[in-house]
Amino acid sequence: MRQVWRNCHVATMADGAYSAVEHAAIVTRADRIEWVGPEAELPSVDVAHAHDLGGAWVTPGLIDCHTHLVFGGNRSVEFEQRLQGVDYATIAAQGGGIASTVRATRQASEDALYASARRRALHLLGDGVTTLEVKSGYGLDLPNERKMLRVARRLGHTLPLTVRATCLAAHALPPEYAGRADDYIDEVARRILPVLAAEGLVDAVDAFCEHLAFSPEQVERVFKAAAHLDLPVKLHAEQLSSLHGATLAARYGALSADHLEYLTESDVVAMAGAGTVAVLLPGAFYALRETQLPPLDLLRRHGVPIAISTDLNPGTSPVLSLRLMLSMACTLFRMTPEEAVAGVTTHAARALGLQATHGVLAEGRVADFVAWEVAHPSELAYWVGGDLPKRIVRHGAWVDVAALS
């Protein structure tokens, strides 16, 4: 079915810029864009439906390329404890921290995890997100990592969202492997990854490279296993210290390296050479009261694509709005609104390996877009919070978020 969407302005986001077409129209056929350009040049074609967008600014559907959307419980009580002065070591000794999320996730049924994740996914969808990534990493054993990834697949099958599933089994050391990190990495590389990949549950492989998680040497064993399975990799790197995990990720052609507050110039050069996207996570930066800024000038100078994401997770970034992250990226990281919008469209698509189909409004791309009632696309980053009036189109069809709630 061919449709035309007219009386709008389009920020195509080609080449990482607004690349705006004012007084524009879009022609879609089924789930793809057939034409986009000035309305005065609209080709003469038969259409089943014509939609007047009332002068809205249209952007690609937003892409949240780094989330931990599926988890059991939450850590709001710990949040209050920390603000009352209880230190993290005490909270951890009481069974808190990531261990509490692992415990709650293991105890939860697949249906219960789906129900809570669906509620969070609807917040993102209502914010203009049409594509998102979901990581495992709170199961930390085969049955529970499988359960999390099955929920991710189910979200993609039941909601108007494109969902990419990432296996993050190398996220933390499970309690049953205390003091045996190398043994757990063997379990991840030799058993968990191959089994879950064979079941079709994994689109990419991630790990946490940090002194409180896994060493570069241990991460490399996970990456080698992923390469053997022909799965792309990505990495939580340089968040709390410099271990040159981003350089390791680049050596394996990683889709992205994420967090990156302690990134060095040699890491940036390696990422640029490999085409690895820098995914910045202002929600975690804010929640942890971090003071070390990711090196924006180095990333710009070396031409590394920069994406922005929520890092939605129960511990360090309980964020339910990707658009809020645009504002925070501008204010905290000194990004421009244009860079921030590119970070949740074209560069976020590249961070998921979807750059050929998503993140830009152009002929042949997937017809995922949002019509915003704004005077300029910079407003997506300008307004702090709230809900900007919008209409969402996914695969060439209107999305009624309220009907899904």
Do 218 and 296 belong to one domain? yes
Q: Give yes or no for a contact between 257 and 271, defined as CB atoms under 8 angstroms apart.
A: yes
Q: How many domains does the chain have?
A: 2
Do 68 and 133 belong to one domain? yes
Do 70 and 177 belong to one domain? yes
CA atoms within 13 A on the CB side of 7: 7
* Rounded-to-integer distance, Cα 225 and Cα 193, Å: 8
Do 307 and 215 belong to one domain? yes
Low-confidence ranges of the chain (pLDDT < 70): 88-89
Per-residue pLDDT of 68-103, as tens digits, reads 999 999 999 989 998 999 876 688 778 788 889 999
Do 56 and 69 belong to one domain? no
Is 219 among the domain residues? yes
Range of the domain at 261: 62-351
Do 160 and 253 belong to one domain? yes
- Measured from the Cβ of residue 84, the count of other Cβ atoms closer than 10 Å reads 7
Closest CA to 22 of 42, 37, 43, 4: 37
Is 259 among the domain residues? yes
pLDDT for residue 88: 67
pLDDT for residue 150: 98
CA dihedral defined by 40, 43, 46, 51, rounded to 10 degrees? -40
Per-residue pLDDT of 356-380, as tens digits, reads 999 999 999 999 999 999 999 999 9
Do 167 and 300 belong to one domain? yes
* Rounded-to-integer distance, Cα 83 and Cα 88, Å: 11
Is 49 among the domain residues? yes
Do 241 and 390 belong to one domain? no
Do 285 and 265 belong to one domain? yes
**Domain CATH for 388:** 2.30.40.10
Do 309 and 369 belong to one domain? no
Is 356 among the domain residues? no
Is 161 among the domain residues? yes
Do 340 and 378 belong to one domain? no
